[in-house]
Structure 1
Amino acid sequence: MSAADEGFGSLLRRLRGEAGLSQERLAHDSGVSVRALADLERGRTRGPQRRTVRALARSLGLDAGDTGVLEAAAEAGRPRPQAGASGPTGLLSLPRAVHDFTARGPQTAWLHVLADDPDPPQAPVVVVSGAPGLGKTSFALHGAHTLADRFPDGRLAVDLRGMQERPADPQEVLASVLRALGTAPHAVPADPGERVGAFRALVAERRILLLLDNAADEQQLRPLLPAAGSSLTIVTSRRSLAGLEAVHRIDLPMLRREESVELLARIIGPERVAAESRAAGDLADLCGHLPLAIRIIGQRLAARPHERLAKLARAVAEEEHRLDALRAGDLQVRTAFALSYRQLDAVGRAVLRHAARAPGPDVGPRTVALLADLPRAQVRRRLAELADRGLLQTDPDRERYRFHDLVGLFAAEQLTDDDPVTLARTADATARWLLARAGAAALRFDPAARRGADPDPATEPADRHRARAWLETERETWLWALRRAHETGRHRQVVDTAEAMHRFSGRTRHWPEWVTVFTLSASSARALGDRHDEAVHLHHLARAHNLCGHDHHAALRTARSALDLAREAEDSLRIGRALGYGAGALIRLRRCWPTPTEVPVRWKGLPSEGPVPAFAAAEGFARERR
């Protein structure tokens, strides 16, 4: 048998004996650990990394010929992973990369920086986490393929099945990786701790790239992460894996609009996109710039080369059918979300569903707790967990959460599991709570008013600054509550809440929502048959039209209605205010100017006679309404 046929372990043992060196001495001189050297000689590790072979050869004093023989034996014992699945863990050579991969330039560049570090303090581990559909696996594969030539000792990919009911057993994964890297099956340690040690010792002596796709959690991952050496591990997961120490994290944001359109063009061809550029942009927007959704749209269009983009955009624009439209063969956006939803327990699912009921772009724990009829502390924890799983997005400054548009549609679909009577009851309870808090917060800005009764004194805003912050943050929420109260006939609460907000509205004239607030309150006062309150809230509404909505024609119509009610009640104060709001609208319509004068004017002649003084306009307004 020639030296090259001996096998690396027996050849190394013979050469060490000829050199008269003990294992301890050779380990010291070469920098290879005694344990790793013992594994090499026993054949438990058959194909060490090139730099390890050269270090051993130098310490043994081998000439060029014997060094070449030793390297050949190591190369022979260094098998590459075979294409196709191998065992229950789904161990693969790298699957093919997506040929139309788009964007992610800065993130790919960071992978290259980590891979090119010649002497990292520890084996680099990169965690790529985020929402379903962000393209985490596509990015990891793209990065791995661009780095393949930097890892001559192996490129492995393992599906850890994190979204399945039974994720991959890390000990089974280790056994498969060890065998793929040249460890004889009988030499794979049975003891879990020894198996981890063998894996880390082997990887420390080689330069491999390990892609751990679809990780379930930190517990599954920890045994699979190298400790030392220059091998690179890329992990993808829908969870943030915040418990992992000393890892590099890559955040994949949603694609920008131009990147979404570029991806679509790469799938269906730039000519089709150029021919319907507006429809292409609309499709990207309707998909929320989620890479999976853009890919599905692209593949649908690629399979129908004569279908117009505008036709598909009209179908996707129908919100109630959008998730149905986002499917192509076995690719479905809904399925991607459902995988994550099924992994939640009953409380987690309820929190996600009821968060989708909240109005506005984002929501806080209190509103979700009210809608879900769950304790606030429990909901706070669950919202954080949902964000950790990529199902919600967090606000960088406040404890607020928002949905990606498509995830929000999916979550709202799941409300069909809830009893409609219960949904209506919790919606009403939520609206009552929100209006009570909003009214109490707004009354802080009325020095003549008594303190309002907050529904939760322990958490109520403590001063004007905090009250305004709450009213600002929850603007969409309490406005929804006001609409809900109006729709369900709780008119007295609508009127009282709007009246409490009157003074505060003067401090926030830039809010167009005041037109809606006082439209609802005037309508509720009318429904109650309260002519006085109706006149008061028509005054508020005329002012809002003038100063907030900048709709001066509407202000003029509203002031006329208020003047009729004030005259009916013979209320001189209300008459004067109605005249003032009417004149204010005329001033803004440039039909008069705000200067005192005795010039008489006929109301009906204003449009043809040009601008006139405001006092005369008010007088004409009053005369015309008699």
Structure 2
Amino acid sequence: MRGGTPSTEDFGQRLRFLRGRAALSQEALAHAAGVSVRALADMERGRTRGPQRRTVRALADALGLDADEAAGLEESAALGRPRPRAAGGPAAPVALPLPRDIQDFTARDAALARLLDLVRDADPGRPQVTVVAGQPGLGKTAFAVHAAHRLAPHFPDGRFALDLHGMDAEPTSSRDALARLLGALGLAEAAIPAGTDDRAGLWRSLAAERRLLLLLDNAADEAQIGPLLPGTGPSLTIVTSRQALAGLTAVHRCDLALLRREEAVELLARILGPERVRAEAQAARDLADLCGHLPLAVRIAGQRLLSRPHEHLGKLVARLAAEGRRLDGLQAGNLRIRAAFALSYRQLRAEAQTLLRRASLAAGADFSPETGALLAGLTYDEAVACAEELTDAGLLQSDPAAERYRFHDLLRLYAAEQVEADDGPAVRDAALDRTAGWMLRRATAAALHFDADHDHTAPSGDPDPDGAPTGREEARAWLEAERAQWLAALRRAHDTGRHRQVLDTAEAMHWFSDLNQHWEQWVEVFQRSSDSARALGSRREEAVHLNYLAWAYNLCAHDPRAALVSADSALAAARDSDDGLQQGWALGYGAGALHRLGRLEEAHTRLREAAHCLAAQETGQARLAELSILNALGALLRQLGRAEDALDIHRRGERICRAGVPRRADELIAFYHAVHRQQIGNDLAALERWHEAEPSLRQALGFFDAAQMPAWAEQARLDLGRVLGAIGHPEARQTLLAARDALAELRSPRQAEAATALAQLGEAGTGR
């Protein structure tokens, strides 16, 4: 020791002393110097005695050393670097042993079996290469090490493992890696050629004669790996990397998935012991879910609990359940999930880093390049390129069919942390506002494709007309794919006081919502729009949107009590603004709620009043509203046992449809006609005129199916199935089965009717 500093002969001790003096953790020093925590730990423990000069300089800078101290650190590193042997000296093989196998290794049976088959069926003259790539924390190295130990008996001439430090600021060069491999085969340093190509040629000629197993861990890229791969012979090379290494050809790819829930629980049991996991079985399942079934996260949670034998699993579950503390909770000693993600994040280009962290602000389970571009302030093409880079780096998962991307839950939390650290609230809010404004303009333009009152020759108002959906099919696809995004945008516009934009979007959605009654989100959409109308002081618009909200409560959320409250509020607002059309709608929606609550006479009274109110008006909108009211009135009369009166009401509605409604599209009138055909079929069925009912119901169902209106089609299918059952038609059972299953998916209360009809059909078939 000189002056309290370790002697230059021990690089590891000296480095550890300097880090302690600087009050830096291993993770902090590794981050500052651009090396991995594992590489730093190897240096301090003496496993790496002579790091390269660039690495030593980076460490000295991170430690804030003066020139003399930096020179001393370099001197101690130089003493640990290998020296050339004298020509002709004895060659001691460089040991590259396989790392210790993990005793509690869990799952991956299918991947192991495929690798064993690869070795068993291999051509002796053709070396096999398997690439294990994927996101941080998947257990790629653990799998590769375990597989290498399982396969070791097949490779008697040598099993070598080499860490290529692909995530370090200075990965191992191909030239240095080849020197270590040639040394492992017993070559003296003097016998190893100087150039990379010559070393690669010598390595391939020697490997061709041997059955070797080569584990190349933590590869940086294809350029680093290429020279290390044997060209001929019976060898096997297993490569692990966080990069996809898509440029490597003629290789076997091992795609590791997240653990299944039961596999994650099994890993916990192997770490903690089965008794401890069985004692808190539900907590173990919850813990696996909170870890996102990511092997590294599950292992960290297990190791943390193992070091605290008296701590309940439920305590850690409660800690991890708070998203803001989850990454903090997933650390045990040197194992830290945040550090694993940080290594990959720091390797990215600035644009890719921006996309990764800002994409965490996207709503929903996945996001499009469009959304990523808006949040990150990139062009669409730049966002696509960055997203593909992030996918190759294992930081995003791409959808197999669509151009969409998703995070692992823990990576999303990490990315969100980077927003706070690297961007801050002002930049974050600007990104969210920019995205929300664009999304609402696109959503409004797309929804107007379905609006019967919209002039489709007028400019669409889309923020990117060249990339906008054209026609209803594209508009529907966009609105469905981006549902979470435009709904989040609507929330943000409402919460930041942009009430006119909220109203415009919700109004545009009115007709589109009728095609998708099974979306419960319409309650929130129209809650916010009616609130925005109130904030703007527009009683007429408030009446309109309260009516939309009553509709949503009745048909989407199946909450008639809330629907009645909204309808009554809409009626008051409509009377205040002297709007007869909205008064008629409010009476109708209130009647629908009363009907569902079993208050049939009150419902009947309101429907009669609504029909009278609307019949007195001469607008096309009033005619459409009247058709809806007549449809509901007839259905109620049928339920009251007055099927003949119901048939008269529905035929009155059909006459209006056949006469047409001025300035309304034929397709829209065809929809109302189909609704009345369905009701006429049900009226005839109630009168037991089964054979007359069947064609009416088939016509209605054909229209709803063709128009892709599942909420309407499946109810018509149920009605048709009951009629077919009554006449003993062979299609009855299949029709009812299809209706029951689809209504269940739509969360429709009528699924119970379908089940009852099926049961009755079964009883009739058995003669009971």
State the TM-score, normalized to the length of structure 2.
0.66
Structure 1 residue ranges without an equivalent (≥5) = 1-76, 83-91, 601-612, 618-626
Please point out which of 273, 277, 296 is paired with 2:281. 277
Deviation sequence 1:126-178 (CA, Å, 0-9, x none): 00000000000000000000111111000000000001000001111111111
Letter of the aligned partner of 2:594 in structure 1? Answer: L
User: How many residues align structurally?
Assistant: 521
Q: Secondary structure at the match of 1:249?
A: strand
The range that moved more, 449-458 or 434-443, is 449-458
Contact 1:597 1:616 in 2 (8 A): no
Deviation sequence 1:299-330 (CA, Å, 0-9, x none): 01111111111111001111000000000011
RMSD across aligned C-alpha pairs, in angstroms? 2.2
Query: In structure 2, what is the equivalent of residue 458 of structure 1?
Result: 466
Q: Alpha-carbon deviation of 1:187?
A: 1.8
Query: In structure 2, what is the equivalent of residue 344 of structure 1?
Result: 348
Q: Does 1:187 align with 2:191?
A: yes
Deviation sequence 1:535-588 (CA, Å, 0-9, x none): 000000000111111111111111111111122233332222111111111222
Q: Return the alpha-carbon distance in structure 1 between the equivalents of residues 377 and 467 of structure 2.
A: 18
Deviation sequence 1:465-490 (CA, Å, 0-9, x none): 00000000000000011011101111
Q: Which structure 2 residues correspond to residues 122-201 of structure 1 after superposition, within 5 A?
A: 122-201=126-205
Query: In structure 1, what is the equivalent of residue 527 of structure 2?
Result: 519
Contact 1:597 1:615 in 2 (8 A): no
Letter of the aligned partner of 1:374 in structure 2? Answer: L
Q: Which structure 2 residues correspond to residues 478-497 of structure 1 after superposition, within 5 A?
A: 478-497=486-505
Q: Secondary structure at the match of 1:157?
A: strand
Mark the CA change 1:188 to 1:114 in structure 2 (over 3 Å): closer, same or farther. same
Q: Does 1:311 align with 2:315?
A: yes
The range that moved more, 108-117 or 407-416, is 108-117
Q: Return the alpha-carbon distance in structure 1 between the equivalents of residues 433 and 122 of structure 2.
A: 63
Q: Return the alpha-carbon distance in structure 2 between the equivalents of residues 599 and 289 of structure 1.
A: 55
Query: In structure 1, what is the equivalent of residue 481 of structure 2?
Result: 473
Contact 1:124 1:231 in 2 (8 A): yes
Query: In structure 1, what is the equivalent of residue 441 of structure 2?
Result: 436
Q: Return the alpha-carbon distance in structure 2 between the equivalents of residues 127 and 467 of structure 1.
A: 41
Q: Which has the higher contact order (CA 8 A, sep 6+)?
A: 1
Q: Alpha-carbon deviation of 1:450?
A: 2.0
Q: Secondary structure at the match of 1:301?
A: helix
Q: Which structure 2 residues correspond to residues 359-508 of structure 1 after superposition, within 5 A?
A: 359-416=363-420, 417-451=422-456, 452-508=460-516
Letter of the aligned partner of 2:454 in structure 1? Answer: A
Contact 1:351 1:372 in 2 (8 A): yes
Letter of the aligned partner of 1:513 in structure 2? Answer: Q
Q: Does 1:253 align with 2:261?
A: no
Please point out which of 577, 583, 593 is paired with 2:585. 577
Query: In structure 1, what is the equivalent of residue 85 of structure 2?
Result: none
Contact 1:583 1:614 in 2 (8 A): no
Letter of the aligned partner of 2:98 in structure 1? Answer: L
Mark the CA change 1:597 to 1:173 in structure 2 (over 3 Å): closer, same or farther. closer
Deviation sequence 1:393-415 (CA, Å, 0-9, x none): 11001110110000000000011
Structure 2 residue ranges without an equivalent (≥5) = 1-89, 609-634, 640-768
Letter of the aligned partner of 2:365 in structure 1? Answer: P
Mark the CA change 1:262 to 1:588 in structure 2 (over 3 Å): closer, same or farther. same
Query: In structure 2, what is the equivalent of residue 24 of structure 1?
Result: none
Q: Alpha-carbon deviation of 1:101?
A: 0.1
Q: Alpha-carbon deviation of 1:420?
A: 2.4
Q: Does 1:591 align with 2:595?
A: no
Q: Return the alpha-carbon distance in structure 2 between the equivalents of residues 247 and 581 of structure 1.
A: 64
Q: Secondary structure at the match of 1:127?
A: strand
Q: Secondary structure at the match of 2:102?
A: coil
Contact 1:78 1:153 in 2 (8 A): no
Mark the CA change 1:115 to 1:78 in structure 2 (over 3 Å): closer, same or farther. farther
Deviation sequence 1:229-278 (CA, Å, 0-9, x none): 11100000000000001110000000000000000000000001101000
State the TM-score, normalized to the length of structure 1.
0.81
Q: Alpha-carbon deviation of 1:423?
A: 2.3
Query: In structure 1, what is the equivalent of residue 540 of structure 2?
Result: 532
Contact 1:595 1:615 in 2 (8 A): no
Q: Secondary structure at the match of 1:436?
A: helix
Deviation sequence 1:180-218 (CA, Å, 0-9, x none): 112233221223222111101111110010000000000
Q: Return the alpha-carbon distance in structure 2 between the equivalents of residues 118 and 465 of structure 1.
A: 50
Q: Alpha-carbon deviation of 1:432?
A: 1.1
Q: Secondary structure at the match of 2:123?
A: coil
Q: Return the alpha-carbon distance in structure 1 between the equivalents of residues 585 and 372 of structure 2.
A: 42
Q: Return the alpha-carbon distance in structure 2 between the equivalents of residues 107 and 187 of structure 1.
A: 39
Please point out which of 241, 244, 250 is paired with 2:248. 244
Q: Secondary structure at the match of 1:458?
A: helix
Letter of the aligned partner of 2:428 in structure 1? Answer: L
Q: Return the alpha-carbon distance in structure 2 between the equivalents of residues 378 and 250 of structure 1.
A: 29
Identity of matched residues, %: 58
Q: Which has the higher helix share?
A: 2
Mark the CA change 1:517 to 1:93 in structure 2 (over 3 Å): closer, same or farther. same
Mark the CA change 1:359 to 1:121 in structure 2 (over 3 Å): closer, same or farther. farther
Q: Alpha-carbon deviation of 1:589?
A: 2.2
Contact 2:436 2:490 in 1 (8 A): yes
Q: Secondary structure at the match of 1:396?
A: coil
Query: In structure 2, what is the equivalent of residue 89 of structure 1?
Result: none
Q: Which structure 2 residues correspond to residues 88-103 of structure 1 after superposition, within 5 A?
A: 92-103=96-107
Q: Return the alpha-carbon distance in structure 2 between the equivalents of residues 309 and 420 of structure 1.
A: 35
Contact 2:133 2:241 in 1 (8 A): yes
Contact 2:587 2:606 in 1 (8 A): no
Q: Return the alpha-carbon distance in structure 2 between the equivalents of residues 505 and 165 of structure 1.
A: 53
Deviation sequence 1:13-39 (CA, Å, 0-9, x none): xxxxxxxxxxxxxxxxxxxxxxxxxxx
Q: Return the alpha-carbon distance in structure 1 between the equivalents of residues 122 and 158 of structure 2.
A: 17
Query: In structure 1, what is the equivalent of residue 612 of structure 2?
Result: none
